[in-house]
Amino acid sequence: MTAPSAETAGPTRARAGANREWLQRYTGAVMNTFGTPARVLVRGRGAHVWDADGTEYIDLLAGIAVNCLGHAHPAVVAAVSEQVSTLGHISNFFTSPAQVRLAEELDGLVFPSARPGTSKTFLANSGTEANEAAFKIARRHGGAARPRVLALESAFHGRTMGALALTHKAAYREPFEPLPAGVEFVPAGDVEALRAALGPDVAALIVEPIQGEAGVRELPAGYLEAARELTSAAGALLIIDEVQTGMGRTGAWMAHHLLAPGVTPDVVTLAKGLGGGVPIGAIIATGQAAELLGPGQHGTTFGGNPLAAAAALAVIGTIRDQGLLERVSALGERWAARLGALDAVVEVRGRGLLRGLGLADDVGPAAQVADELSRRGFIVNAPRPDTLRLAPPFVLSDADADAFTEALSEVLAGRLRRGAP
């Protein structure tokens, strides 16, 4: 047996020109589903990452709202290291204390007022998987008598076939049609359109409380309450997709707790920040919806594995013990106010540390602004041509947030002077 090469034996060391070399190898080895990446990242600490050339960046995207505790957080590192040294994976023929503890935690976090035993969790590996399971719960609830499932325009729920059927964007859907049938889209935030669409043949409505891929757009006040009232009256399930917004991202454990505290959905889906960078997803259901999937009707080889469950427990414990919900809320509000005062920022949307910055037309495409910010050492992205998205780690410092605000001000001012694009 040959010894591992220096390249594979340990962490990749930064050196000049390494980004270019790795990207050339990437294009020859990796399917072109995302285009060529902008850079090759080799390590991170807190809210900072370094690329293969040794350049440092402040990470204000956190793996698209995933690395909620930042990179290499000691609590996650310790939990994962201890668990993998003891028991890394088991099949669904068995369970583990980590899986049981995590399910209990999630039952209580998502449905804090539910009686013990009336809420149940299924653990998966991603947000897409979580939404696939939610779709199956909707089908089990509806059966042949309720073939329709409602989703919102501009919704994003994933890219596998079932989740893609719930996703509105034509460019994602059309290459893979025909998709699973029965899904219809209604205008986001329009109560009367929802009222007209609901009927006795509707199994479920799925919504995101804040539509992240649509540019971080919050559903209007009162919409979730109306959705709950109307779905209950029609006998349909209300499914809330908290994949991007859950686990403290908005300053509350769940965004719907903050935006509509009186609303209790039937099903909630989670992922992203739940594992703090370790892949995991979850479906938490209450009442009748918690009993709809029986033995043999759903499963996943890796879902609920001890490693991912240990990471998620460490994330939950750290958010709770370090008061990070309060931190997210306070920093988010202060930062949003300062960002909203900048020239060419016409709107700051979202809550907590999930923010969409609506830019004036005069500064050109948001993707170009994001590229300029990258050259200054900040990672953001542009989900829409007029919007920058911020979803940084909860441990982002005030100094790093202020440094970004100053850099964005300079970039926008420069583009206005040049008459960008």
Domain locations in the chain as residue ranges: 6-67+323-418, 78-321
pLDDT-based confidence at residue 32 (cuts at 50, 70, 90): very high
SS3 state at 323: coil
Instruction: Give tens-digit pLDDT for 363-379.
Output: 999 999 999 999 999 99
The alpha carbon dihedral of 72, 75, 76, 77 has a sign of: positive
Strand order in the sheet with 281-286: 119-124, 281-286, 267-270, 237-241, 202-207, 148-152, 183-186
pLDDT value, residue 3: 33
CATH code for the part of the protein at 78-321: 3.40.640.10
pLDDT-based confidence at residue 16 (cuts at 50, 70, 90): confident
What is the rounded CA–CA span in Å between residue 412 and residue 418? 10
What is the rounded CA–CA span in Å between residue 360 and residue 363? 6
Burial tier of 294 (Cβ tally within 10 Å: 0-12, 13-18, 19+): exposed
What is the rounded CA–CA span in Å between residue 389 and residue 404? 13
What is the rounded CA–CA span in Å between residue 395 and residue 76? 14
Instruction: Give tens-digit pLDDT for 339-359.
Output: 999 999 999 999 999 999 999
pLDDT-based confidence at residue 14 (cuts at 50, 70, 90): low
* 348-383 exposure pattern, b = at least 16 Cβ within 10 A, e = fewer: bbbbbbbbbbbbeeebbbbebbbebbbeeebbbbbb
Q: Please tell me the CATH superfamily of domain 6-67+323-418, with its number.
A: Aspartate Aminotransferase, domain 1 (3.90.1150.10)
Structure letter (DSSP) for residue 132: H
Instruction: Give tens-digit pLDDT for 209-257.
Output: 999 999 999 999 999 999 999 999 999 999 999 999 999 999 999 999 9
Asked whether the beta carbons of 115 and 109 are under 8 A apart, the reply is no
Tally DSSP H helices, then E strands, for the chain. 15, 17
* Mean pLDDT across 79-95: 96
Report the mean per-residue pLDDT for the chain.
Answer: 95
Task: Give the residue from 177, 181, 225, 215 showing the smallest Cα distance to 201.
Answer: 181
SS3 state at 129: helix
- What percent of the chain is helix, strand and coil (3-state, nearest 5)? 40, 20, 40
Question: Strands, E, within 153-211: which ranges?
Answer: 183-186, 202-207, 210-211
CA 114 to each of CA 149, 266, 381: distance values in angstroms, whole numbers, following the listed order? 26, 11, 38
pLDDT-based confidence at residue 1 (cuts at 50, 70, 90): very low
Q: Residues in the chain, how many?
A: 421
pLDDT-based confidence at residue 15 (cuts at 50, 70, 90): confident
